[in-house]
Structure 1
Amino acid sequence: MENVCLRRCSCRCFLKKEVPEEELLRLFQAGMQAPSARNEQPWEFILIRDPLVKEQIAQINPYYRAADGADCLLLLLADLARVRGDSPWWIQDMSACAENILLQAVELGLGAVWLGVYPRGERMRALREIACIPERVVPFAVIAVGYPANALQAVPRFEKKRIFKDKYGIEAGDQYEQQ
């Protein structure tokens, strides 16, 4: 079977089929297994299944339309009370968390799409209001999850010309031909 990373792609159209709780648990476990600077693990989550709340979220931004058709939304939050000082690493921690969830979704045969929130102030404000999120907690991302309505096919993105050897601009050669 091909590497899960190479099969990952965004899914924006979903079947009307409920994702079982056991699979959601695996998504949350994968997210929480992400690497974290200083082991701060700033992540928290809100699972959203209420159709009215999904509809409100879908209206925040035109790119959020997939939220309405997904079985559920995972709202990824960063609790800044878990972050020491003015450390900027929580952004990377949360990104790794989101990617782990997306990869786990592929492994489970689910479709998912990352809907960007942070650092867009208007998106963060809207989600704070909809989900009653306190100020110390940052709405970071929404991941729409469900069973894909159509077969998903990842588009290969590998480009060897983006790989350099030792210094920028020095091509790495032919050892990185796409398989």
Structure 2
Amino acid sequence: MDIYEGIEKRRTIRIFKKGATEEQLRRILVAGSKAPSAGNRQSWEFIIIDDPKIVEQIGEIKYQLNKKFTPGPGETQKEVDDRALSQKKGFQNSSVVAICTRSGDVGTGWLAVENMSLAAVAEGLGSNIISYWDEGKKEVEKILGLPGDYELTCVLKFGVPGGEVTPPKKRPEFSWLHKNKF
């Protein structure tokens, strides 16, 4: 598979049949470690989370964060709550990895995230990027035992997609392009 095909096929998968194999996960993590980094600092650290209790805790934190969203136009609070619950359930049957970086170097972590997401495609797997913020982020950092000079970039889930994978609706090509000025 060439890189353009991998980019085209990458999808956010929220429900998984099963997680990545150890060998697949190893290759995905190595791909993350090959990402570019500012000053070649390579300040990322990856944490495989396979303790069901910890997976449940970070899923619950994400659920609580998402329940606080204000409904969008034409959306009910029940729909917001259902979506939050669905995201919590999405931690089931997946391989979970936390991406952390030295504080102030979070951009480097996101480069590793993209490499890992594309590597998952090459492995025939789906991925889902989970972000945390405010107190929820601090809670996850505490649960994972991050030192004070590190911060959570995100949590990534990998696995075999649990249903049909359809292309998302995207903006028309080049509708986002500007030249010299916005």
Q: TM-score, normalised by structure 1?
A: 0.79
Report the CA distance shift for 1:47/1:79 in structure 2 as closer, same or farther (over 3 A).
same
Report the alpha carbon displacement of residue 20 of structure 1 after superposing the two structures with TM: 1.4
Cα deviation for residue 27 of structure 1 reads 0.8
Cα gap change, 1:76/1:50 in structure 2, threshold over 3 Å: closer, same or farther?
same
Amino acid at match of 1:71: S
8 Å CA contact 2:28, 2:116 repeated in 1 = yes
Partner residue in 2 for 1:130: 143
- Which structure is richer in relative contact order (CA contacts within 8 A, separation 6 or more)? 2
Which residue of 139, 145, 148 maps to 2:161?
148
How far the C-alpha of 1:131 sits from its partner, in A, is: 1.5
| Contact residue 12 and residue 113 of structure 1 kept, 8 A | yes
| Structure 1 unaligned spans of 5+ | 81-87, 170-179
Give, in whole Å, the separation in 2 of the partners of 1:73 and 1:107. Answer: 18
CA contact 1:73–1:144 (8 Å) conserved in 2 = yes
Tell me, yes or no, if structure 1 residue 75 matches structure 2 residue 77: no
The DSSP-based 3-state class of the residue aligned with 2:20 is coil
In structure 1, give the amino acid aligned to 2:46.
F
Q: Would you say how many aligned residue pairs link Structure 1 and Structure 2?
A: 157
Instruction: Name the CA shift for 1:68/1:56 in 2 (closer, same or farther; >3 Å).
Output: same
Percent identity reads 27
Which has more radius of gyration? 1
Q: Which runs of 5+ in 2 are unaligned?
A: 67-86
Runs of 4+ in structure 1 deviating by more than 6 angstroms, as ranges, are none
TM-score relative to the length of structure 2? 0.78
The reply on whether 1:114 has 2:129 as its aligned counterpart is yes
